[in-house]
Amino acid sequence: MAELAGTTPPITNPTAAQEERVISPWRDAWRSFRKNKLAMAGMFLVAFFILIAIIAPLIAPYSYDVQKMADKHLAPSAAHWFGTDEFGRDILTRIIYGARISIWVGCISVAGSVIVGSTLGVIAGYYGRFIDMIISRVFDIILAFPSILLAIAVVSVLGPSLRNALIAIALINVPIFGRLVRSKVLSVKQEEYISAAKAIGMKDSRILFQHVLPNSMAPIIVQGTLAIATAIIEAAALGFLGLGAQPPTPEWGKMLADSKDFILDAPWTVIFPGLAIMLTVLGFNLMGDGLRDALDPKMKN
Amino acid sequence: MKKSLFALVAFILILSLGLAGCNSSKTSSDGNGKKGGDGGGVMIYGKGGDAVGLDPAHETDGESFIVTEQIFEPLLSYKKENTDVQPGLAKSWEISKDNLKYTLKLEEGIKFHDGTDFNAEAVVKNFERWMNGDAAKFPYYASMFGGYKKDKAHVIKEVKAVDKNTVQFTLKRPQAPFLKNLAMSPFAISSPAAIEKYGDKIGQNPVGTGPFKFKEWKRDATITVVKNDSYWKKGLPKLDGVTFKVIKDNSARMNALTKGEVDLIDNVNPSELDKIKSNNKLQVFERPSMNVAYLGFNTEKAPFNKKEVRQAINYLVNKDELIKNFYNGTAEAAATPLPSAIAGQNKDVKDYGYNETKAKELLKKAGLEKGFKMDLWAMPVSRPYMPDGKKIAEAIQANLKKVNIDANIVTFDWGVYLEKIRKGESPAFLIGWTGDNGDADNFLYSLLDKDTINSNNYSRYNSPAVHKLLIEAQSTADEAKREVLYKKAEKIIHEDAPWVPLVHAKPILGGTSKIKDFYPHPKGSQSFVEVSMTK
């Protein structure tokens, strides 16, 4: 008995020791991500913009839609750090609120395309045959259009509004994720653990959602982060063309469009929204690149 | 086999070389033609929107008229700087004592661009065509002549060719501005042969008697007209042609002018006035103001069928701010539809002025103190009376928000926009008007009489009292009496508030310093017949 009791710790100990040695792939990725200075800078940029988007009402010095015509085109000063626009509205405030819109549009539209794209991709990759053919050809067709042109066409049909711009951006990104997931599924499908799962009679849905999809996650995350950056640019482009957010929404692209006539007379009306777009997109791009380096097993030394 | 193939390829190459040679020599000789000559050349005119159509009688907008003015001529014309009538295709006229018969002597020997003779018969055919039309075909006709042949209010009883060069108009009742009406851009004379030949497509194939002939129209890009060598006025036109280039964006158009891509542009952003003045290669042309920009309400649609709501919104628009921020001061606040250049403006009508409390009181009276949602339509293009409709809409939107009115800004393509507001589909809309003949009738009757609903009365304002005054003013020959009548009408219109009259703007055009003898006409468009360009 005493012997038995004595043997218990050695059984647990090796596992504990093993856990210390064998690090989960996510943690490993985080480690290599943290080492990448550019990626960390990107993450801080993104975190910064998300933070100001969340606490916008607390930090915005003015209201984004109250106009004060007499204050037209005031240069940046202590009262208005980024100056004022044609309607006498504080540009800093509008950029802070604009962060909400851009990040919201970026994240939601990409989330939408990830969900739809990966579902279609998984179905196409796993079942193959004619389902694959139909889905893949639809993807090809969508990808054959220049993305912004397709977005413009979708918005023209649905009518210009922020929601429709979001739908359009989600739609044009669907095939990107669809293709990605499909190719990943095709390779995962050949793995032995999938054959094993099939052999013990697991249902397709369980195999798909518990084995195939989690093992295809890494490229989705990388592509997703990069796609948010493109989505933000596309939303700004649609806003610039008057097809996205409608006034008085402080969308960055629309702010650019409204002030482009004053690029010489009141450059701050153009510079600051432009900078905001650039920095957010840069942040997501750097972060996405870092994630790619961290998550891709081939990139490991 | 191989040899013959080689020979074929060689032949094709030689042929294409030859053709290319032909082509280039042709363009270069064209180019020489353009550059040479006495002050000729092709003038490139940058405009903010494409023409809707080129059948003048079918159109009501300045973007179309600026082109049709070159191709067509009306029976009479206006003086260079104001709207006094002078001879045009008709060289003289006589009016009967009862003001009911107008006899016009036509110029002889004029031919349309397609070779058809211009004569009394052609004039009659044009008028018959218009008066047998309807509001969808010839919307402007009803605004000026009281309706169509089948309507009771129609002014013209008969148009008759007395002889080859004499036309006689018989009216049902006197119409004081009748001669001015005849000189308007929409009532220019088209070739009867072309009307028959092209039918519904005449709007793409205009044939008139004007100084320039239509050559080509690329939608949303360019319209080209070339010199009419057999123009009936000797030595004119001086230019070899005019190319109208659509550059929608105001600042892009301004850039094109600065870079020399275009020679003359309209609708210059008021904020860029100083830029032109300080550039010695450019010159400013100020068009005498004869326009009004307004926010119209559809008086048939709730909640704007209530006078209180319309008045409340009148109290909510701050015109001085709009003028300062979006017109750079190049406009004056409007209290009545009539600009000061037009006889009959009632100076006693005091503007509503900005007053939030009064607006709230009125909304409460209408039972709408909690506010409401509305669509506010803004025009997509820059107009002489309103350089940027969307921004004006945004400014108004912010003021409406103060009394909980949520305005959603809506816009369409220009042609669609005009068509929809004409049909009364919009609840509230920004639009404006440039007077076409300098008479108060052309503002008040054209825009606010019950006869012109479905035509230019976009707010579908129907006031019997105003109608009575306007008809009486039309039928009176005495100018002083007419002014009194118009002033009375303005008072009622002010009270009923079918519009928020916004501003009377002073449109600015910019051109290169090469342009000579160009006089912007107050009516908003003009022929370039006398314009020349120095090298």
CATH of the domain at B495: 3.10.105.10
* Mean pLDDT calculated for residue range B346-366: 91
Same domain assignment for residues B471 and B516? no
Q: What is the pLDDT of residue A188?
A: 87
Same domain assignment for residues B125 and B233? no
* Mean pLDDT calculated for residue range A278-292: 93
Same domain assignment for residues B103 and B232? no
Q: Compute the mean pLDDT over every residue in chain B, rounded to the nearest whole number.
A: 87
Mutate which of B253, B258, B318, B394 to disrupt the A interface (most A C-beta within 10 Å)? Answer: B394
Q: What tokens appear for B123 in the block? A: 């004039």
3-class SS of residue B515: strand
3-class SS of residue B232: coil
pLDDT of B248 over the 90 cut? no
Q: What tokens appear for B199 in the block? A: 């039918």
* Mean pLDDT calculated for residue range B310-315: 94
Q: What is the pLDDT of residue B23?
A: 44
Q: Say if CB B71 and CB B225 are below 8 A apart.
A: yes
Short-list B201, B200, B185, CA closest to B70: B185
| Structural domains in chain A plus CATH codes | 30-55+92-299 (1.10.3720.10)
Q: Say if CB B500 and CB B207 are below 8 A apart.
A: no
CATH number at residue B178: 3.40.190.10
Higher-confidence residue: B357 or B29? Answer: B357
Q: Say if CB A28 and CB A293 are below 8 A apart.
A: no
How large is the greatest C-alpha to C-alpha distance in chain A, in angstroms?
91
Any domain includes B222: yes
Q: Which of B269, B271, B324 sits opposite A69 (nearest CB)?
A: B324
Contact B325 A72 (CB under 8 A): yes
Q: Which of A67, A260, A265 sits opposite B271 (nearest CB)?
A: A265
Percent of chain B with pLDDT over 90: 39
* DSSP characters over chain A: -HHHHHHHHHHHHHHHHHHHHS--HHHHHHHHHHH-HHHHHHHHHHHHHHHHHHTHHHH-SS-SS---GGGTTPPS-SSSTT-B-TTS-BHHHHHHHHHHHHHHHHHHHHHHHHHHHHHHHHHHHHH-HHHHHHHHHHHHHHHHS-HHHHHHHHHHHH-SSHHHHHHHHHHHHHHHHHHHHHHHHHHHTTSHHHHHHHHTT--HHHIIIIIIHHHTHHHHHHHHHHHHHHHHHHHHHHHHTTSSSPTT---HHHHHHHHGGGTTT-THHHHHHHHHHHHHHHHHHHHHHHHHHHH-GGG--
Q: What tokens appear for B416 in the block? A: 């669609």
Q: What is the pLDDT of residue B452?
A: 87
User: What residues pair up with B377 in beta bridges, in sequence order?
Assistant: B410, B429
Contact A261 B250 (CB under 8 A): yes
Any domain includes B49: no
Q: What is the pLDDT of residue B242?
A: 92
Give B425→chain A minimum CA distance, Å: 17
Same domain assignment for residues B249 and B366? no
CA atoms within 13 A on the CB side of A193: 9
pLDDT of B221 over the 50 cut? yes
| Distance of alpha carbon B180 from alpha carbon B522, whole angstroms | 14
Whole-angstrom CA distances from A29 to A23, A25, A139, A218 are 10, 6, 31, 10
> Which residues of A sit within 8 Å Cβ distance of B?
65-67, 69-70, 72, 86-88, 242, 246-248, 258, 260-262, 265
Same domain assignment for residues B186 and B240? no
| Distance of alpha carbon B289 from alpha carbon B180, whole angstroms | 18
pLDDT in tens, A112-138: 999 999 999 989 988 888 999 999 999
Same domain assignment for residues B369 and B474? yes
Any domain includes B309: yes
Percent of chain A with pLDDT over 70: 91
Query: Is the C-alpha dihedral spanning A49, A55, A58, A62 positive or negative?
Result: positive
Of A18-22, B46-50, B179-183, B408-412, which range is least confident?
A18-22
The nearest alpha carbon in chain A to B274 belongs to A265
Q: What is the pLDDT of residue A260?
A: 84
Same domain assignment for residues B234 and B372? no
Q: What is the pLDDT of residue A1?
A: 45
Same domain assignment for residues B355 and B315? yes
User: What residues pair up with B160 in beta bridges, in sequence order?
Assistant: B168
Higher-confidence residue: B83 or B242? Answer: B242
pLDDT of A7 over the 70 cut? no
3-class SS of residue B152: coil
Short-list B47, B35, B384, CA closest to B243: B47
* Mean pLDDT calculated for residue range A37-65: 93
pLDDT in tens, B410-448: 988 888 999 999 999 999 999 999 888 888 988 999 899
Same domain assignment for residues B435 and B350? yes
* Mean pLDDT calculated for residue range A224-253: 91
CB atoms within 10 A of CB B156: 21
Contact A67 B408 (CB under 8 A): no
Contact A87 B271 (CB under 8 A): no
| Distance of alpha carbon B41 from alpha carbon A145, whole angstroms | 43
CB pairs under 8 A between A and B: 45
Same domain assignment for residues B364 and B492? yes
Domain around B393: 291-505
pLDDT of B245 over the 50 cut? yes
Same domain assignment for residues B350 and B262? no
Percent of chain B with pLDDT over 70: 93
pLDDT in tens, A141-195: 999 988 889 999 999 899 888 999 999 999 999 999 999 999 988 888 888 888 8
Q: What type of residue is B271?
A: S
Same domain assignment for residues B310 and B457? yes
Number of domains in chain B: 3
Mutate which of A65, A156, A246 to disrupt the B interface (most B C-beta within 10 Å)? Answer: A246
Q: What tokens appear for A214 in the block? A: 């989690």
* Confidence category of residue B279, pLDDT binned at 50, 70, 90: confident
Strand order in the sheet with B101-106: B90-95, B101-106, B166-171, B156-163
The nearest alpha carbon in chain B to A85 belongs to B325
Contact B397 A248 (CB under 8 A): yes
pLDDT of B459 over the 80 cut? yes
Contact A248 B324 (CB under 8 A): no
User: At which of B172, B196, B220 does a domain end?
Assistant: B196
pLDDT of A287 over the 90 cut? yes
